[in-house]
Chain A
């Protein structure tokens, strides 16, 4: 015959291994260590230091061929006629009322060009260009902008050394809030703000 005591014992016995309540932020033991090989396959970014640039190289002349087959249909023969982003031109337009933001006029780092071309171009086949082709087309776009000479060869050593014309054109940290408005409630003027 079951007593309350035997029922309680049975319940307790069945809970052996049921676990313990954890404090927040303990080691949850979830996930596993990523292998070097896994990281190498995904770690594609190229910061201004050039860390992560692969071996290989490419010339302006080779880049012209890559450009004509892979890029020209979207960016135009000279890199400035669309329909997609203008890559070339716009020099000295940033202070004008109609700024033209291109690789040559606006981009602060040449490494970003390699990163982005490899990462997301060509539009219909991202991450398909070889390192050699990526160096080459990077060199060609920089040549079209007058940033490197026609006989330039780019590789992991030379690319980070390129100084872009608008390298010092960026301001950070963010200076906002830059407009301090007054919450006028009655009979307010047309502009109740002081920058």
Chain B
């Protein structure tokens, strides 16, 4: 099953279809045949006809044993970036425009790997905890799972999410512009529990977290964060972590940039200073206008985006549409989201889906009637610290145009009079 999980879900689905053809009736036949049947039905499956799937048995149980989305949802998949020279140190985007609510299905959680996805046998995976501790420890996966367990819903966002949008509108869809964003319920043990097992003194200020992947991905984490709300998790949305999310073990640092939340976690080393790894010096640092670079820019600041209607959607007719989107903050709870349909001139408070959880994606909704003219749709999040999601111009004024990471500006979707929706800057 571990190997199957590493392949695309569609492949498994196709294999299932191949296996079951000739055994299972019309429900799993390829689309053209279904359409042919429907056509011979004289008017198809719409009322007043009795649908074909009502007139025969459907597929049996275990079709397949691990359930897959309907074949009619085959287009809802992660998409790759075209910016990287390899596909192992690369990233793929979550299809936010096709999702509902605030939880990301496991197979659609965005990917950012630095050395590909390792195929780890959990029986041969260990977590080492050493450095400035009273007793260096080594834990098996079975032992980690015996510690007191916690489950929390938290967002995960790559610090490079939206990086193509600094200078001009580039992404066509919200998957392109904001798809390095996901939210899962994570289950594991508090990092503070493990640290207590090893004994950490007052001099300990940082922890090096290291992955077991081919990049041995490494970041230094402030001890304050480790003792606050950091988790070492082995499950997402109720099942074991997916290989591409760090199976069998990863770090979760709620609200911090994604790359710090080390996947395939194998080692934690306690220290009095940061290690200055390649990722936290030459890579995930934010270059300012004056040539200096901000380092250890961990927190993902408050941000929001409208996911429906959004780039690539087309409104088929005038009338009612519910504007829907997501808001999140690395500093805590979202308290307020406003929506504008005139490019930021006037704003209306949207409804938040409750209960709002800290550092989790929060769905917002606002009823809207499209009158057929052009509109500029925007959303603006405010978090519990009072921080207001800024405009792109304000961020550029403060930082310049070469910081790459942490673009949390207000996004604009233009609805044209033909109902088409595109990514624009205002």
Point out residues on A near B: beta carbons under 8 Å.
24-25, 27-28, 30-34, 38-39, 42-45, 47-49, 82-84, 94-95, 97, 99, 101, 103, 106-109, 111-112, 115-116, 119-120, 123, 126-127, 169-188, 190-193, 195
Kindly report which residue of chain A lies nearest to residue B293, judged by CB atoms: A170
* Centre residue among B281, B290, B292 by max chain A CB count within 10 A: B281
Whether A171 and B295, one on each chain, are in contact in the complex, defined by CB atoms closer than 8 angstroms, is yes
Which bracket fits the contact residues of B? Answer: 35 or more
**Which B15-68 residues have a C-beta within 8 angstroms of A?**
none
Whether A191 and B394, one on each chain, are in contact in the complex, defined by CB atoms closer than 8 angstroms, is yes
CB distance from B177 to the nearest CB of A (A): 19
A sample of 29 cross-chain residue pairs with beta-carbon separation below 8 angstroms, ordered by A number, consists of A27-B197, A32-B137, A32-B138, A39-B130, A42-B128, A43-B267, A47-B276, A99-B287, A99-B291, A109-B281, A115-B278, A120-B214, A120-B278, A127-B216, A169-B291, A170-B281, A173-B296, A174-B294, A174-B296, A175-B294, A176-B406, A179-B397, A183-B338, A185-B347, A186-B347, A187-B345, A190-B344, A192-B391, A195-B394
CB distance from A190 to the nearest CB of B (A): 8
Kindly report which residue of chain B lies nearest to residue A118, judged by CB atoms: B216
How distant is the Cα of A39 from the Cα of B198 in the complex, in angstroms?
14
Residues of A within 8 A of B147 (CB): 28, 30
Whether A45 and B394, one on each chain, are in contact in the complex, defined by CB atoms closer than 8 angstroms, is no
Whether A38 and B128, one on each chain, are in contact in the complex, defined by CB atoms closer than 8 angstroms, is yes
| Pick from B193, B210, B297, B401: contact of A45, CB under 8 Å | B210
Given A107-B281, A170-B295, A179–B394 Cβ distance below 8 Å? yes
Given A39-B128, A174-B299, A83–B276 Cβ distance below 8 Å? no
CB distance from B175 to the nearest CB of A (A): 26
| Pick from B276, B288, B398: contact of A111, CB under 8 Å | B276
Residues of B within 8 A of A109 (CB): 276, 281
Residues of A within 8 A of B140 (CB): 31
Whether B216 and A119, one on each chain, are in contact in the complex, defined by CB atoms closer than 8 angstroms, is yes
Closest 10 CB pairs of A and B: A193-B394, A95-B291, A94-B291, A181-B388, A116-B278, A31-B139, A34-B138, A34-B136, A170-B295, A172-B295
Residues of A within 8 A of B298 (CB): 174
Point out residues on B near A: beta carbons under 8 Å.
85-86, 89, 114-115, 128-130, 135-140, 143-144, 146-148, 193, 196-197, 208, 210, 214-216, 218, 266-267, 269, 271, 273-278, 281-282, 285, 287-299, 301, 336, 338, 344-347, 380, 382, 387-391, 393-395, 397-399, 401-402, 406, 426
Whether A112 and B214, one on each chain, are in contact in the complex, defined by CB atoms closer than 8 angstroms, is no
Whether B148 and A108, one on each chain, are in contact in the complex, defined by CB atoms closer than 8 angstroms, is no
Whether B390 and A119, one on each chain, are in contact in the complex, defined by CB atoms closer than 8 angstroms, is no
Residues of B within 8 A of A186 (CB): 346-347
Whether A95 and B137, one on each chain, are in contact in the complex, defined by CB atoms closer than 8 angstroms, is no
Residues of A within 8 A of B281 (CB): 106-109, 112, 170
CB distance from A175 to the nearest CB of B (A): 7
CB distance from A81 to the nearest CB of B (A): 12
Residues of A within 8 A of B274 (CB): 47
